[in-house]
Amino acid sequence: MPETKFKTAQEYIDSLVPIRKDIVQKIRLSLISNLDKDFEETISYNMIGFVVPFKLFPEGYHTNQAEPLPYINLALQKKAISLYCMCGYDQRFTTMVSREFARAGLKLDMGKSCLRLKEKDFLKNEKAYLDIIQKIARYMTATEWLQFYKQSIQIKKNYH
C-alpha cells in the first residue's frame, strides 16, 4: 500500500494553491454539513475521504481490509476536481446526478463512480455545483450505503 502523504484533510487542503484550496474547501464543507453523521472524514487513498468507520464495519473495504469502507473521496487531479462516489454503482444514483446536472444546465463529466468538476466551470456556477454536491452527500446514510455495499458484494460472490 502506498504511503499516505497527508495525515489530515486540512494538511491536504493546505498543500493546494489558493484558488484550488478555496474550491476544495467549499466542496469539503458542503460534504461535511450534508453527509450522515455516521460517516467519518479521513485521508483515504491519499485523498480526503468520507468512510464508514471500522467501529461500524470492522470488515473494511473488500479490496483492502486495512482501509475503512469508502463512500465519497475528494481529490484534486491535474485537469479537474474529482468526487469519487462509491454509490455511483447504484443506477438510481447516476440517474439522479444526470437529472440534477441537466436541471442546472451543467455539462456532466462522470465515469462509473467518478464525477469530474472543472475549476472554471465550478467558479462560474458555484451555487449550482454546491447544490448538486449537497444532494449527492444526502443520497444515502451510512447504514443504507453499508446495506447496498453488502448486497453488491454478495451478488458478486454468487457470480464467481
Residue 35 is assigned to a structural domain of this protein: yes
Number of other residues whose CB lies within 10 A of the CB of residue 43: 17
Residues across the chain: 160
Model confidence pLDDT, tens digit, residues 28-49: 999 999 999 999 999 988 899 9
Backbone conformation region of residue 76, classed left if phi is above 0, alpha if psi is from -120 to 50, else beta: beta
Residue 70 lies in a domain: yes
CATH number of the domain where residue 32 is located: 3.90.1150.200
Strands (E) located in the chain:
40-44, 47-52, 69-76, 81-85, 114-117
Is the CB of residue 23 less than 8 Å from the CB of residue 119? Answer: yes
User: Residues 114-148: pLDDT tens digits?
Assistant: 999 999 999 999 999 999 999 999 999 999 999 99
Partnered with residue 115 across adjacent β-strands are: 83, 110
Q: Extract the C-alpha cell encoding 92.
A: 438510481
Give the range of the structural domain holding residue 14, as residue numbers without chain letter: 9-153
Q: Judge whether 120 lies within some domain.
A: yes
Question: What's the pTM value of the predicted model, to 2 decimals?
Answer: 0.90
How many domains are there within the chain? Answer: 1
116 domain residue, yes or no: yes
Residue 42 included in any domain: yes
Cell of 61: 473495504
Give a yes or no: residue 2 inside a domain: no
